[in-house]
Structure 1
Amino acid sequence: MKFLQFTDIHLTKDGETIGGRDPVLNFRKGLAHAMEFHADAEALFITGDLSDWGDAEDYQKLKDILRDVPVPVYPLIGNHDERALLRAAFPDLADPNGFVQYTVPLSLGTAICLDTWGPQSHAGHFCETRAAWLQAQLSRLEGPVWIFMHHNPVALRIAPMDKIMLLDADRFAATIQPFSGRIRHIYHGHCHLPLAGSLHGIPLYAPRGTNHAGWADFSATRLLSSAELPEAYAVTFADTASTMTHMVEFGYAGDIKGEGSPDYADWDRTTMVR
Structure 2
Amino acid sequence: MKLIHLTDIHLTAAGSTIGGRDPRINFERALADILKHHHDAELLVITGDLTDCGDRADYDWLKARLDRFPIPARLCIGNHDRRATFLSVFPDYTGPGGFAQGTHDTAAGRCLFLDTAEPDTHAGRYCEPRQAWLEARLREHPGPFLLFMHHNPMPTHIASTDDIMLLDDVAFRRIVGRHRDKIRHIFFGHCHIPLAGSVSGVPVSSLRGTNHASYPDFTETDVTSAADLPEAYGVVFLGDDYVTVHMVEFGYAGPIRNEDSPDYRAPALDIAGR
Using structure 2 for the length normalisation, give the TM-score.
0.95
The residue aligned with 2:243 is 243
Q: Which residue of structure 1 lines up, in the alignment, with residue 133 of structure 2?
A: 133
Give the CA deviation at 1:66: 1.0
Question: More deviation in 136-145 or 113-122?
Answer: 136-145
Matched, 1:178 2:178: yes
Per-residue CA deviation, residues 172-204 of structure 1 (Å, 9 max, x unaligned), is 111111100110000000000000010111001
Structure 1: distance between partners of 2:174 and 2:197: 17
Q: Kindly provide the CA deviation profile for residues 189-235 of structure 1, in whole angstroms up to 9, marking residues without a partner as x.
A: 00000000101110010011000000000001101100000000001
Q: 4+ residue runs of structure 1 moved beyond 2 angstroms?
A: 266-269
Cα drift, residue 259 of structure 1 = 2.1
Structure 1: give runs of 5+ residues left out of the alignment. 270-274
Contact 2:113 2:149 (8 Å CA) reproduced: yes
Equivalent pairs counted in the alignment come to: 265
Which whole-Å deviations, capped at 9, do the CAs of 1:27-76 have from their partners, x for residues lacking one?
Answer: 00000000111111110000000000000000001011112210100011
- Structure 2 counterpart of 1:100: 100
Matching residue of 1:165: 165
Quote the Cα distance in structure 1 between the aligned partners of 2:175 and 2:57.
Answer: 36
Please name the residue that 2:33 is paired with.
33
Supply the distance in 2 between the matched residues of 1:167 and 1:180 (Cα, whole angstroms): 21
SS at match of 1:236: strand
Contact 2:6/2:46 (8 A) holds in 1? yes
1:57-206 to structure 2, matched below 5 A, reads 57-206=57-206
Secondary structure class of the residue paired with 1:103: strand
Q: Tell me, which stretches of 5 or more residues in structure 2 are unaligned?
A: 270-274
TM superposition score normalised by structure 1: 0.95
Query: Partners of 1:92 and 1:51 in 2: how far apart?
Result: 18
SS at match of 2:111: strand
Q: What is the distance in 2 between the residues matched to 1:178 and 1:64? A: 39
SS in 2 for 1:62: helix
Question: Which amino acid is 2:140 matched to?
Answer: R
Q: Give the secondary structure class of the aligned counterpart of 1:97.
A: helix
CA distance in 2, matches of 1:75, 1:139: 23
- 8 A contact 2:30–2:233 mirrored in 1: yes
Structure 1 vs Structure 2 CA RMSD: 1.4
Distance in 2, matches of 1:23 and 1:250, equals: 14
Give the deviation of 1:96 after TM superposition.
2.2
Write the distance in 2 (CA, Å) between the matches of 1:67 and 1:238: 25
Q: Distance in 1 between matches of 2:116 and 2:187?
A: 13
Q: Give CA-to-partner distance per residue, 1:120-156, whole Å, 9 cap, x none.
A: 0000000000000000000012111000000000000
Identity across the alignment (%): 50
The CA deviation string for residues 229-274 of structure 1, in whole angstroms up to 9 with x for no partner, is: 000000100111111010000000000111249xxxx9968xxxxx
Q: Counterparts of 1:231 and 1:96 in 2: how far apart (Å)?
A: 35
Cα distance in structure 2, aligned partners of 1:103 and 1:111: 6
Q: Which amino acid aligns with 2:63?
A: K
Letter in 2 for 1:223: V
Q: Match for 1:169: what amino acid?
A: D
Q: Aligned partner of 2:162: which letter?
A: D
